[in-house]
Structure 1
Amino acid sequence: MSAAMIYITCENETQAREIGRTLVAERLAACVNILPGMTSLFWWEGEVREANEAVLLAKTRMTMADALTDRVRELHSYDVPCVVVLPILRGNPDFIRWIEEQTQSNS
């Protein structure tokens, strides 16, 4: 099994909690971590913008990354939410196995 960590930025901690709770409840993610209080600088509509956001980190199977991304896009308030899939190349085998046990199978 290959696992992934999905990096998602959210409008605020409340939105991160709502999206994170849904991902875990629907078994699209085994676990999420919320990091509030992030400052983002980015180009949007032709100018540099600044916003306070929250980071949501979701752990899942690599095979579920597309379904998780689609669900975040449905739930998110942004026109173009940041959802980036990062493969987990190594780690505690027991933790990787736990991710697999806690997420749905695509089969």
Structure 2
Amino acid sequence: MTNKIVIYTTCGSEEDANRIARHLVEMRVAACVSIAPGVRSTYRWQGAIEESQEWGLTIKSRRDLFARLADEVRKVHPYEVPELIAVPIVDGLISYLDWMDAELESPIDLP
């Protein structure tokens, strides 16, 4: 098991997706954010079943950065309750995992 995680979220527009992705990478809480258009979501919100076309974001980070990443997402995400789900990266190409570490905030730099 690695200390790396993948976090999923969605948003309602390409502009929001690009803004969120850039912000997370600039803050060094995400090494990479992949953006996928055409996500169709069906969910219950405030008592009604909703359906919406969304943009999916796949965020690559580290477990120790999740709380900070979540704070940063809440600052820039337009949704009242953004989806933010983290899953562990069990294993991966060592050179990619090392690259992630080089691009993320160092654990000794954390507040």
Task: Tell me if both proteins adopt one fold, taking TM over 0.5 as the criterion.
Answer: yes
Runs of 5+ consecutive residues of structure 2 not aligned to the other structure: none
CA RMSD of aligned residues (A): 1.0
* One-letter amino acid matched to 1:87: P
Q: Which residue in 2 is equivalent to 1:75? A: 76
Say whether 1:63 aligns with 2:59.
no
How far apart in 2 are the matches of 1:40 and 1:100?
32
Shift of 1:106: 3.2
Structure 1 segments of 4+ aligned residues over 4 angstroms from their partners:
none
- 3-state DSSP class of the match of 2:107? coil
CA distance in 2 between partners of 1:39 and 1:12 (Å): 12
TM-score of the pair, normalised by structure 2: 0.92
In structure 1, list runs of 5 or more residues that go unmatched: none
Partner of 2:7: 6
- How many aligned positions are there? 107
Could you tell me how far apart the structure 1 residues matched to 2:31 and 2:17 are?
15
Aligned partner letter, 1:29: A
Percentage of identical aligned residues? 36
Following the alignment from structure 2 to structure 1, what is the Cα–Cα distance between the partners of residues 55 and 107? Answer: 29
